[in-house]
């Protein structure tokens, strides 16, 4: 019932919505990355939260797509015979397609999210100063770093350089690591954008086949 041109128009619209949703997801994840949080906690949070957020947005996109498709279908049948209209209503197309799209065999499942974990800053602090990462906020300059930690964090440094220098070095490495994580997020979303596009397109194709059989 829906023309090829109409289906292509709907696909373009949902792709625009997809781009908008992924921009929102990236902004939200980067918001957390920019926070002064313990890096170990932040790493695990981002790894688990990003796929969940993506999954949630995928379901929102599915509802939006079904709205587009149903609106187009109702526009086509509005001038048709009553029997055609009744067949559309009785078929319960929207709920059937939604159930199909969310079935475990067809549902969109984000890929596993891997963050770069082998940064020197994490490896060194893991053994000698795990608490230091908690203090990378505004109070960081008040942290006292022992001689042992100084030499392990920055080999060859004179202990006379003091804690402030080490804090500065650690902060720089933390920021570098966060920039890497943001790139990881961007790459992850790019990969899943293709998967989402493919999934949404399969929903359009399924809808078209179901309607054609009415």
Q: Does residue 150 belong to any structural domain of this protein?
A: no
**Would you say residue 162 lies in a domain?**
no
Domain assignment present for 98:
yes
Q: What is the pLDDT of residue 61?
A: 98
| 148 located within any domain | no
What is the domain range of residue 70? 4-114+188-212
DSSP letters spanning the chain: ---HHHHHHHHHHHHHHHHHHHHHHHHHHHHHHTS---HHHHHHHHHHHHHHHHHHHHHHHHHHHHHHHHHHHHHHHTTS-HHHHHHHHHHTHHHHHHHHHHSTTTS--PPPP------HHHHHHHHH-GGGGGG-STTGGG----HHHHHHHSTT--GGGHHHHHHHHHHHHHHHHHHHHHHHHHHHHHHHHHHHHHHHHHHHHHHHHHHHT-
Residue 13 lies in a domain: yes
pLDDT of res. 120: 57
pLDDT of 117 reads: 60
pLDDT in tens, the chain (214 residues): 789 999 999 999 999 999 999 999 999 999 999 988 877 788 889 999 999 999 999 999 999 999 999 999 989 888 777 777 777 777 789 999 999 999 999 999 999 998 876 455 555 555 444 445 444 433 343 333 444 444 444 444 444 454 565 566 667 777 888 888 999 999 999 999 999 999 999 999 999 999 987 7
Kindly state whether residue 146 falls inside one of the protein's structural domains: no
pLDDT value of position 167 = 61
- Give the count of domains, the chain: 1
């Amino acid at each position: 019932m829906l023309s090829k041109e109409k289906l292509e128009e709907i696909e373009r619209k949902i792709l625009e919505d997809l781009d908008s949703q992924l921009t929102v997801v990236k902004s939200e994840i980067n918001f957390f990355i920019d926070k002064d949080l313990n890096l170990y906690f932040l790493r695990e949070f981002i790894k688990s939260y990003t796929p969940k957020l993506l999954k949630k947005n995928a379901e929102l996109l599915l509802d939006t797509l079904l709205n587009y498709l149903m609106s187009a279908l109702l526009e086509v049948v509005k001038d048709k015979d009553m029997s055609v209209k009744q067949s559309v209503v009785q078929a319960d197309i929207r709920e059937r397609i939604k159930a199909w799209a969310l079935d475990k065999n067809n549902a969109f499942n984000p890929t596993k999210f891997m963050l770069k974990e082998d940064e020197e800053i994490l490896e060194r602090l893991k053994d000698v100063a795990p608490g230091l990462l908690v203090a990378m906020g505004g109070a960081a300059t008040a942290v006292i770093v022992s001689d042992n930690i100084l030499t392990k964090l920055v080999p060859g440094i004179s202990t006379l350089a003091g804690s402030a220098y080490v804090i500065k070095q650690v902060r720089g490495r933390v920021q570098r690591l966060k920039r890497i994580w943001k790139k990881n997020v961007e790459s992850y979303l790019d990969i899943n954008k293709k998967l989402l596009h493919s999934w949404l397109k399969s929903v359009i194709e399924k809808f078209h086949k179901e309607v054609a059989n009415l």
